[in-house]
Structure 1
């Protein structure tokens, strides 16, 4: 390896580290807050989130699907678990009962995934998760993530209004990173994410020195099932179980999109091995009180933005992320990164997902009738995402986590339409006409 290659690998590794960190750190913090866990328990879940996430990334890229794709906490399950935690009182349960039901459902789903992969039953899932279902999922993921990171890049005051100086600074970071991607040379564009995060981080500290850094990660005692011991709360178990299974959409979409970037043909064993590893880490997540794992389709936007496709920096980045959980002071240092800056940079990176969504529709023909195949699940899913959770208070408690989740509703509607409408027949009539 030449000196130039070594430098590129080093910077690429740090870029992966920051990408993994910003995508991961807020998840255990927000879930811990929703379940009102003590600070030392939240700190423990953060540390184990770092260690397990780093291990999942390395194992998937080495022996699973074999692509540099972030494997971390599922966005779908993150939203579902947050909703369950927030709705605990409305469901007539305490937090440990809800958390125990989630642990049971996730653990059972993890075992089912391992079983399906071990006995090669993946074809059953592939008949359900069709290319159109994957397209719908990608569109919904694009909208969901851009909503999340767009909101996250604006700092709020105690009175609930925008902190204008910080908010305008975040907009400036967005414009700067887009400029680097479009107008920067190839090498600058490749490291636009790293430049945006580190440059924005430094400038933020200079311009806003009075803003206290976010609390770092401290040492914490070991504990299992922090949200509650597994129980037989059937409604919570069912919703959690099927939520994890719907995560398989992420796996199929991520591998297919990565294969297109690498211009490779997907092999069946890639799906099988990836789902087997996902099942293992899903089961582990239930024990340590973490949101279940899944390959991040959003990584495709990162790869398309940076054009850095070698796997070695990804392995190094994953290893460094594991060290953050093993050595708390390292995580405490990264914890001083303003989340508004991280969200602003990721907002730009995930804009690329919209192009991935559009590309997934290549070869499909739409008219005033067939457009419902795409429009109905996507539009309804996005609409549900934007309805405040409290407005679902009149929905029966056992159905509320499902009905209020735009992701799940959109994908379920798409699966229903694909199974009960003969779109090939409709398309054939269109071509004949």
Structure 2
């Protein structure tokens, strides 16, 4: 690929600033979306302080990756798979959730630092990776549905219609945009969708405009508690998925840039991911992960320099110190968040299908269909289990059996590596 700026080449100041702002525009939407969802649960609706702290964490994680970790130009943000883990274990308490993130982050750090990662990678065949990508999308269905019909002064059915209509607008726009405009589409949809929602439904702006322009985020001391074995196991499974996401994202950029030192970059990158997830647990936040959308952005901008990401990280931290700015940019109505999430998850399902085609993970083989289909069905059934049934399960195994993502991953492991084992198809990377 012909690039204007290579990995260790620093663009001129103005271009460096512009590239950094472009990366920031790509990174902000997913931070806001996941920050609002988890922050509303952790803080009973007061999400500004939570998003402030989350922005600082993501900025620190990005700086560490660019300076000491994989040293690649990569988008970083909250891990969707951890969002699933948190939402599935809310009944266990925030203390247990935070502690589970700390423990799982520590285990990930040790695995990466000691070289044990090469053994873990063998579990993740192409079919397993495809299922994980699909599971993340399918197990978020209850959360997305709740956002689509949330009561916000508008009739639930009207909110649902608005979300569906906005999805059609997103797809229409996606088809016609190219390059960086398409990469930053979630940002523009959030802006346009919010404005449209307020105009159509005559909703007053509900965010607090009396907040200070500059202020330190009020970081509350998070509760920590000793989680039970079942909960730790559930989070470890989710962190395995986070690891393969991190691994695949780093590898994709290395492949694009034709780098020959990827083993070292992967090791350092995942160590930083583990350490920053420990910090996330200490602060009571969703931990970070490297995103796989990076190659598309590099191809669009023709800039593979890592230096603009320093500007991006500093931008995140600067925004975090303005409660008023965070309040304004996070004033996204729930139906708009739902529509953007559907767009992102649909793209993820498409990525999973493309991986299957490229790797020939399924070849008109009924066994392959079972390996990938059964985990999706089981996971979907579990996320819609009635609370009355969940309450009847033993506390020790409840975090596992009621987590659709975890059960889906365990199912695909059993099918792929035991019942329908095909050693020659195991992934080497």
- TM bin, normalised by shorter chain, reads 0.7 to 0.9
Q: Is the 8 A contact 1:109 1:245 kept in 2?
A: no
Work out the CA distance in 1 between the residues paired with 2:338 and 2:13.
Answer: 33
Query: Against the structure 1 CA distance between its residues 163 and 223, is the aligned structure 2 distance closer, same or farther, given a 3 Å change threshold?
Result: same
Secondary structure at 1:72's aligned position in 2?
Answer: strand
Secondary structure at 1:133's aligned position in 2?
Answer: helix
Secondary structure at 1:423's aligned position in 2?
Answer: coil
Instruction: Report the alpha carbon displacement of residue 408 of structure 1 after superposing the two structures with TM.
Output: 0.8
Work out the CA distance in 2 between the residues paired with 1:201 and 1:6.
Answer: 30
Q: Please say which of residues 67-76 and 279-288 is displaced more in the overlay.
A: 67-76
**1:92 aligned partner:** none
Q: Please say which of residues 403-412 and 137-146 is displaced more in the overlay.
A: 137-146
**1:95 aligned partner:** none
Work out the CA distance in 2 between the residues paired with 1:232 and 1:177.
Answer: 41
In structure 2, which of residues 191, 194, 200 is the aligned counterpart of residue 201 of structure 1? 194
Post-superposition Cα deviations, 1:217-248, rounded to whole Å, max 9, x if no partner, equal: 77654443x223x4375554444455434432
Q: What's the TM-score, normalizing by structure 2? A: 0.78
Q: Please say which of residues 302-311 and 143-152 is displaced more in the overlay.
A: 302-311
Query: Against the structure 1 CA distance between its residues 369 and 177, is the aligned structure 2 distance closer, same or farther, given a 3 Å change threshold?
Result: closer
Query: Against the structure 1 CA distance between its residues 61 and 127, is the aligned structure 2 distance closer, same or farther, given a 3 Å change threshold?
Result: same
**1:377 aligned partner:** 375
**1:162 aligned partner:** 156
In structure 1, which of residues 96, 104, 114 is the aligned counterpart of residue 99 of structure 2? 104
**1:431 aligned partner:** none
Work out the CA distance in 2 between the residues paired with 1:181 and 1:232.
Answer: 43
In structure 1, which of residues 325, 330, 341 is the aligned counterpart of residue 325 of structure 2? 330
**1:77 aligned partner:** 82
Unaligned runs of 5+ in 1: 89-97, 428-433
Unaligned runs of 5+ in 2: 1-10
2:361 aligned with 1:345:
no
Query: Against the structure 1 CA distance between its residues 55 and 284, is the aligned structure 2 distance closer, same or farther, given a 3 Å change threshold?
Result: same
Work out the CA distance in 2 between the residues paired with 1:313 and 1:174.
Answer: 32
Q: Is the 8 A contact 2:56 2:320 kept in 1?
A: yes
**1:368 aligned partner:** 366
Q: Is the 8 A contact 2:254 2:262 kept in 1?
A: no
Query: Against the structure 1 CA distance between its residues 261 and 22, is the aligned structure 2 distance closer, same or farther, given a 3 Å change threshold?
Result: farther
CA RMSD of aligned residues (A): 3.8
Work out the CA distance in 2 between the residues paired with 1:15 and 1:325.
Answer: 15
Aligned residues: 406
Work out the CA distance in 1 between the residues paired with 2:109 and 2:152.
Answer: 46
**2:422 aligned partner:** 424
Secondary structure at 1:360's aligned position in 2?
Answer: helix
**1:93 aligned partner:** none
Work out the CA distance in 1 between the residues paired with 2:382 and 2:302.
Answer: 36
Instruction: Report the alpha carbon displacement of residue 356 of structure 1 after superposing the two structures with TM.
Output: 0.9
Query: Against the structure 1 CA distance between its residues 271 and 390, is the aligned structure 2 distance closer, same or farther, given a 3 Å change threshold?
Result: farther
